[in-house]
Amino acid sequence: MTDDQWFREAVVYQIYPRSFQDSDGDGIGDVPGIISRLDYLQQLGVDVVWLSPIYTSPQDDNGYDIADYQDIDPTFGTLADVDELVAQAHARGIRIVMDLVVNHTSDEHPWFVESRSSKDNPKRDWYWWRTARDGHTAGEEGAEPTNWESFFSGPAWELDEATGEYYLHLFSRKQPDLNWENPEVREAVYAMMRWWLDRGIDGFRMDVINMISKVTSLPDGKPLAATPQLGDGTPHFLNGPRIHEFLQEMHAAVFEGRAEKLLTVGEMPGVTVEDAILYTDPERREVDMVFQFEHVGLDIGAHKWDRSRVDLRDLKASLGRWQDALAEVGWNSLYWNNHDQPRAVSRFGSDAPEHRVASAKLLGTVLHLHRGTPYVYQGEELGMTNVPFASADDFLDIESVNYYRLASGAGGDVESILANLRLGSRDNARSPMQWDDSAHAGFTTGTPWSRTNPNYQEINAAAAVADDDSVFHHYRRVIELRHTEPAIAHGDFHLLAPDHETLYAFTRSHEGVDLLVLANFSSGDLDLAGPGLEGTLDLDGWESATLLLGNLGEPTAPTATLRPWEARILKR
Ligand code: TEU
């Protein structure tokens, strides 16, 4: 491994600043709050912290709508606070990665304010402006330039009354899409990125970066089953025609020639393994790794709000395919959770009181033992669960709010809409970090902006740090193993028993060392010599292996029956 591949041995921790730690009692987390928790992160042992956006923003999408890329929103602190955070993190050996949101800006960004001011403004072409559809008058139903649906419900076009044209917004109407076809836009973005790197940050997580190149003729998409007046535009803007060119140009303009090897991870909904090989091949100089969405889409049906329990065989097949595809060239990122996903223990494990701790540890074990760079989302290391939201008013996220408004307005059954939201809402991930058993879980002395999960008296960091057998200490051990056991970062991956319904098993092999991971995704016992495993799980030679780490203490034998939600890492 060359030095510039350091991220292969690294673990990244994602902070959602709004919900992490408040320092001034306004109920919203902030940068000084993060600084006050760096010792906790150091104890956990993570190498990198990725911060969700803290830039100046009207907060229509909690900071993913940026009005000034080169300043910090007063809610979160100041540039001086960020400098202090970077210095204090570096002093602890932790790198800081910022979120880069450049598919779109806020509609309050000066670029957009100028752009919308008149049709002949020099920045008009910095965004996607189009006239009404042929034969239609601007403003009437169906007059949008294309039939694309926005990710946050409704059409992806908004009429600007003043100039009579529509602008494109793949997300909220307060998030107009930048026109990357315009070289001035690209250079302005690169200059801003260089400015941050010169300030000392260590890389970028790039928001929906595979959406920046669009098919410029903007064709209509296939009509959607539920709302046929709208269409699926994704084939025309995911991994678009110039995406590789843009990323290579960005690499050359921003990262090339810097003394430090920085971290770049592209968030890429709809990315395929074939695309990912191209994006992450180090020779191509695009990004180090991508966030793919396949494994977090397996439990989703016809639309985002139609969810079921994932079939473990599908999960293994999907993650296994990504492992195989990026084995020789490129690199994987590994995650169960982030600020957009429901809590992993509620989704893939069990948040029932008797299984929560074991299944949270199992999920950490399985994920971190794959080949790739693991990401821990704040609170995952405590086994934080989904939130028992009571009513529609509890949901604050724009995606959830819009869905509720449209679905209930269309006469949908309110109870089933709420049930969908409880399972799928992004608000599940955004409840305050649970630090201790004091009021509001120690997150704020004021009123938290989002509901605190009532289970904080039991599930909190203070209790977890004090208990050597907690989810926290299990995560700490798994993270440490990545740093000390080269087979975890570098070994080959081989999936076992792919067709078994509850066993997740694989080996990792590196320079004569073999690891075997065995995990029981069920609330019952799992006999490793039992039916369905003949011929697909060969345990010869593993009976006397060493237990590197387990989640339920020492088993009677390395290959003994797995107890409910038991996970073992064996070495020989
Ligand atoms: O999310 C990208 C994205 O595609 C989301 O629509 C995501 O799939 C969805 O939230 C799942 O329900 C990124 C950010 O992570 C997200 O927080 C932002 O809202 C979005 O981009 C727009 O910037």
Instruction: Indicate the SS3 state at residue 304.
Output: coil
**394 catalytic, yes or no?**
no
pLDDT tens-digit profile of 94-130? 999 999 999 999 999 999 999 999 999 999 999 999 9
pLDDT tens-digit profile of 21-62? 999 999 999 999 999 999 999 999 999 999 999 999 999 999
pLDDT tens-digit profile of 433-488? 999 999 999 999 999 999 999 999 999 999 999 999 999 999 999 999 999 999 99
pLDDT tens-digit profile of 147-160? 999 999 999 999 99
Contact 104, 158 (CB under 8 A): no
What's the mean pLDDT when you consider all of the chain? 97
Highest mean pLDDT among 224-233, 296-305, 358-367: 358-367
Task: Determine whether 365 is exposed, middle or buried from the number of CB atoms within 10 Å of its CB (0-12, 13-18, 19+).
Answer: buried
User: Which ligand 1 atom sits nearest the alpha carbon of residue 65?
Assistant: 23
Give the sheet arrangement for strand 263-267, strand by strand: 289-291, 263-267, 203-206, 95-100, 48-51, 12-15, 373-377, 333-334
pLDDT tens-digit profile of 378-418? 999 999 999 999 999 999 999 999 999 999 999 999 999 99
Mean pLDDT of 4-30: 97
- Whole-prediction pTM value? 0.98
Q: How confident is residue 532, by pLDDT bands cut at 50, 70 and 90?
A: confident
| Pocket-testing residue among 171, 211, 232, 375, ligand 1, by greatest number of atoms within 8 A of Cβ | 171
Task: Please give the pLDDT value at position 1.
Answer: 52
Q: How confident is residue 375, by pLDDT bands cut at 50, 70 and 90?
A: very high
Task: Please give the pLDDT value at position 259.
Answer: 87
Nearest to 367 by CA among 5, 12, 2: 12
**260 catalytic, yes or no?**
no
Nearest to 151 by CA among 415, 422, 298, 340: 340
Task: Please give the pLDDT value at position 2.
Answer: 62
Mean pLDDT of 127-134: 98
User: Which ligand 1 atom sits nearest the alpha carbon of residue 340?
Assistant: 10
Q: What's the 340 CA to ligand 1 centre distance in angstroms?
A: 6
Task: Please give the pLDDT value at position 516.
Answer: 98
